[in-house]
Amino acid sequence: MRGAAMPAPRLHKMPGMLFSAPPKELQGTDHSLLDDKTQKRRPKTFGMDVKAYLRSMIPHLESGMKPSRSKDILSADEVLQWSQSLEKLLANRAGQDVFGSFLKSEFSEENIEFWLACEDYKRTESDLLHGKAEKIYKSFVHSDAAKQINIDFHTRESTAKKIKAPTPTCFDEAQKIVYTLMEKDSYPRFLKSNIYLNLLNDLQANSLK
């Protein structure tokens, strides 16, 4: 009919043009720092890690049983302290485990593994230093190491010379570089990650029950 309003054109959805909010697990993540493979793995890894960690470290939260000893409890205050500094995080055994899981999700677990190996090495008796130094060097420092750490050529060469006559401090230079790398790069992202925030939120929620 003349004068009748023309019906509005229908919009057809085009394949590949669906828009949705990112999954909750990825919200707050700096995507520019991750490759596609990491982004796809991250949500699953975080969810599994938090649940597994809660089951293994604090089983009484799920079972309703009271812990037999106070040291079995991982408190929200303790986990909150991890956000004060990387030093406080790494001084805590549970903190090492959770941070290690996060680094594994970012494919950089060699950093904390090397740092922990160095801490253990410094407590080694003098007659065992040579063998342990060789093992750490081949695992993390050598240019062909399977878990090669990201240090400069000068430090790599300097460390190679030092282990020929090993002392408790021969990995100190390389360890400091790796610590700084974790502190400036991985640690800030860890504090914003779901693996940390979920654990903290779960502990805070259970403390109110």
The domains of the chain, with CATH numbers, are: 110-183 (1.10.167.10)
Q: What is the DSSP string of 151-203?
A: --HHHHHHHHHHTTS--TTTTHHHHHHHHHHIIIIIHHHHHHSHHHHHHHHHH
pLDDT (tens digit, 9 = 90+) per residue, 57-111?
443 333 333 333 333 478 999 999 999 999 999 999 999 999 999 999 999 999 9
Quickly state the pLDDT bin for 112 (edges 50, 70, 90).
very high
pLDDT higher than threshold 90 for residue 9: no
- pLDDT score recorded for residue 23: 44
Share of the chain above pLDDT 70, in %: 65
Is the pLDDT higher at 39 or at 177? 177
Residue 52 has a pLDDT of 52
Tokens of 50: 């938090």
Q: State the alpha helices, DSSP H only, in the chain.
A: 36-57, 60-63, 76-81, 86-90, 93-105, 110-122, 129-136, 153-162, 172-181, 187-192, 194-207
Give the range among 51-60, 119-128, 166-175 with minimum mean pLDDT. 51-60
Q: Is the pLDDT of residue 165 over 50?
A: yes
Q: Please classify residue 96 by burial: count the beta carbons closer than 10 Å to its beta carbon, then call 0-12 exposed, 13-18 middle and 19+ buried.
A: middle
Contact 85, 186 (CB under 8 A): no
